Structure 1
Amino acid sequence: MTTSLPRRDQPFAKGATALLLVDMQRIWLEPGLDPDHADWGPDHYFFRQTREVTIPNQVALLKAARENGVEVLHTIIQSLTEDGRDRSLDHKMTPIHIPPSLKEGLPPTELAPIGDEIMLPKTSSGVFNSTNIDYVLKNLGIRNLVVCGVLTDQCVDMTVRDGADRGYLVTCVADACAAPTPERHNGALKAFGGYCWVTDTQTVAGRFEALGREVAA
């Protein structure tokens, strides 16, 4: 008996589609806040790319998602405790620690959750490894997971691969992601492209709007 399998680029399903923003936090996005990159000025490629391309595209995605019944989730790197004792061993060794009280650890205003959108703190590269996102997504009835964020070759990469392994149809919005260099960004997309559908903001926003038309009909 032959089983028909879905395509990675098949139309999104109404009521079963979510947009996930990965690690869009002020500490990574605003020059001078990340102590590990104190030498990166406002004109560094990463800051220019996120300011001029990534964030505007995410704003467009959020607008289309919110207006058309698409579930919106956010994940941020944040410890559960002020001293970070709950962090993963890797984050302790690196070290990466963003306490719950650090305002710079939250998303910028234009990307912040609104209403009852879910925001999950994590202390690992992969959101599926240190949060209950799989449980949450399944409770929400999500099948199509649309991913964007930073860094393309780290936390976005892990999210895409782990999501695919758990049975989600993953879409990565390439022009709504960013890495410290274009080479790292493009290399990551090429490396994990087999786990997802790689496309752009305009295409995804159009699909979100199509879901809204379905609801209206």
Structure 2
Amino acid sequence: MAADHLTTRDVPLDPAAAAILFIDVQNFSVRREGGEFKDVSDADIAGKYGYYFKRVHEVAIPNMQRLLEGFRKAGIEVLHTTIESLTRDGRDRSLDYKITGFNVPKGSWDGKVIDELEPLDDEIVFPKSSSSVFVSTHIDYILRNLGVKQLVLCGLLTDQCVESAIRDACDLNYLVTLVPDACGTYSQERHDFSLNAIKGYCRQVSTDALLKEIGQ
């Protein structure tokens, strides 16, 4: 792929130069008993977070499961990242995470990818302590070593960690594909605003269309 001469982002995936990254699909933020929600009342779960849990469990995760299966079958590199400190007390976290109160201790259940998307033994998982995986991990180094030029992104939250990764990946010269129906955030409005804000940074392709594109 002569990436330096491209004039469009609408480039079909080249399996030999592509990878998919699942962002923050972990017990901490997906499970009712996860660290992000364990102290939230049932009333708030049903009200304030009702849309989020419905979106994540009925739309985003099923589509991510399909993507995971399809990309594995196609032999395309599969990567994962989760919010997880490199220490138990989180002293290595970003200042923003410290102020927010986010700490997913090293090796904790909260930091594990959910069972529905469990990584294979040879799939790379990047623990991160910042919004963008490109800031607090060596993912750029790894992607270049793998020969990746096209990066597919999906996961949580659309308008936070996913959007941050998109912007950084573009600045680092990756062609980015976002799968909107395999992402989620706290409201449809936030999701839609994010998709509109980043449309100039990536192509946006549905799960069905992307699987068809890779022959799955």
| TM-score, normalising length: structure 1 | 0.91
Q: How far did 1:36 drift?
A: 7.6
Change (3 A) 1:13 1:54: same
CA contact (8 A) 2:151 2:177 kept: yes
1:155-170 superposed matches below 5 A? 155-170=161-176
**Do the aligned partners of 2:15 and 2:214 also contact (CA within 8 Å) in 1?**
no
Code of the residue aligned with 1:14 in structure 2: it is: P
Residue of structure 2 in register with 1:40 after alignment: 45
Are 1:85 and 2:91 matched, yes or no?
Answer: yes
Match of 1:71 among 74, 77, 80: 77
More deviation, 53-62/88-97: 88-97
Q: Deviations over 1:146-187 (max 9, x none)?
A: 000000000000000100110000000000000100000000
Q: Evaluate the alpha carbon distance shift between residue 87 and residue 111 of structure 1 in structure 2; reply closer, same or farther with a 3 A threshold.
A: same
Report how many aligned residue pairs link the two structures.
208
Q: Paired residue for 1:202, among 197, 208, 212?
A: 208
Aligned partners of 1:74 and 1:143: how far apart in 2?
17
Query: Is the Cα–Cα contact under 8 Å of residues 70 and 208 in structure 1 kept in the other structure?
Result: no
Give the 3-state SS of the residue equivalent to 1:135 in structure 2. Answer: helix
The CA distance in 2 between the partners of 1:205 and 1:90, in whole Å, is 36
Q: Aligned in 2, Cα 1:171/1:92: closer, same or farther, shift over 3 Å?
A: same
**Displacement of 1:209 after TM fit?**
2.0
Alignment check: 8 A CA contact 1:17 1:70 kept: yes
Letter in 2 for 1:209: G
How far did 1:6 drift?
4.6
Return the alpha-carbon distance in structure 2 between the equivalents of residues 109 and 66 of structure 1: 16
Q: Could you tell me whether the CA contact under 8 Å between 2:32 and 2:38 is conserved in 1? A: no
Cα distance in 2 for partners of 1:35, 1:197 equals: 32
| Residue 180, structure 1, aligned to residue 181, structure 2 | no
Aligned positions of 1:122-161 closer than 5 A:
122-161=128-167
TM-score of the aligned structures, taking structure 2 as reference length: 0.92
Q: Which residue number corresponds to residue 11 of structure 2?
A: 10
Partner amino acid, structure 2, of 1:79: S
Q: Which runs of 4+ in 1 moved over 6 A?
A: none
Instruction: Give per-residue Cα distances to partners, 1:14-67, cap 9 Å, x unaligned.
Output: 311100000001121112422487131397100011110000000000011000
- Equivalent residue number for residue 214 of structure 1: none
Secondary structure at 2:16 match in 1: coil
Contact 2:179 2:207 in 1 (8 A): yes
| Aligned residue type for 1:199 | V
Residue 12 of structure 1 aligns to a residue in which SS? coil
1:203 partner amino acid: A
Give the letter aligned to residue 45 of structure 2. W
* SS at 1:176 equivalent: strand
Pairing 1:101-112 to 2, within 5 Å after superposition: 101-112=107-118
Hey, what's the Cα distance between the residues in 1 that align with 2:213 and 2:112?
28
Look up the SS of the partner of 2:86 in the other structure. Answer: coil
SS state at 1:180 partner: coil
CA contact (8 A) 1:54 1:176 kept: yes
